[in-house]
Structure 1
């Protein structure tokens, strides 16, 4: 029998509790097996299943080994009662001399890990305990990873929120995904909030001793200290290098331009930096976050002299189809790139990502992200019909390397699973 190796000579023990109303069998279970070598320790035994309920709830073992047929209470009733009352769930190994499928079936329905028949083979019991212990340790590890992740997210809440709003503003995630992200920390009624954005373009460092512009962290610290109590705010940098601050408040009086201009003056003075900025109008709700971002970028570019005159704008509109056509060709050539984004397509046609995203959406009547997913599904349908590639291989070729996510999106758009679609296509042939 192979026992799990201990890392660094240490491994957290698996606690086992045993219940059987036959004293000889119970004693044999406790003393016959090399529990220590299996990384386990027996924390308690009981010949009375009714009393065992309270003992199990108190000791909270990882595994309970119980007989099925007992006088005071059946093993099935024991499982049901403990599962009903316990905060911490345990794994159940059920043993019985009765070769009755209904007992095994019922035990499994109640969550039993495995079912063993008397007389118990030593190897079978050890195998069952080791398998249960492995499951428990993997579960502990997964829970620890989840706790660490939740702890990290909570401690970096503002960074996470800023990142997600930046993604939303750049058309990389949709409104539903942003709402789910912001809801992690307690959902707010965003329809009750008004928002305004300020987009900054740092020009130069005024203090000659310093050669580096103010960092993201320094500005974030300033915002937290100066604005954190009065506003909900988000701060991020876009692909053009612009820094954007989106301020949200439940009263529009907090978002008047003189107040924001005063804050920009404080920012200049505190870090001895020079920058140009564009301030948006006021909008509301989750959708408003993107609207004010786009307006602030456009107003900044007008301040920077990058705003095109009306003649040039008309020319751009007249050539919109050309830009979109070039972008579509680029998308078709790079569908297998899982990181393909609106920013990459915008660079290909030499347009600002925000402006290109709006241009593409107006011309195609769908966002770039929606179009990209539709094209990947279209290609997947073709590959399912014309090749014998596996689903995993098709996932790679269409730029969706996660088979589970691919299957989910395929069914959502096509109405059936990829395997069903392929089978139907072959049958039609």
Structure 2
């Protein structure tokens, strides 16, 4: 009974470690390793066997998902090659470091793939923003809905792509359009307010001065013949 219980606990802790790496969670990995160590049998040979199984399962999970770089493959290979030379304590230390490295690589890979994936949506989102810039209620929710993404998820992807928040990007677009219209001098400041989706002239003037350092009227005069 004791043997079966120990094996069940070992399987449970193996799963905790694999899932920690799957979720790219260093804190969870550390806690799982501590739990795993305290649950190991007394015999050192068995301890190394259990550690070996954990590494095999984790390696397979990474290969089936993402993040398995050539460098990481080499780390796993070196571990297996030197397995006979490692005592249990050293094996645990080496394995922990390899899996921490795996999480780091997976995080980098996930960020890179996510940014590349969402760039396809961003071009459509930017076109939609330009087309609806005169709408005062244009928001992250309406744009995210247009490209069929969750607003929170869209906001994060947008920031990763443009290195600024959606709100800041929207304001930049509105102010840049206002600048162009003022430079052309073909319409009034009141009309420009409407054309950039800011109906309140006082608020528009306040935002424009924040953005350019000048009031709209001052900016317009610089481009009058």
TM-score, normalised via structure 2 length: 0.49
Q: Which has the higher contact order (CA 8 A, sep 6+)?
A: 2
Which has the larger share of helix? 2
Which has the larger share of strand? 1
Larger-gyration structure (1/2): 1
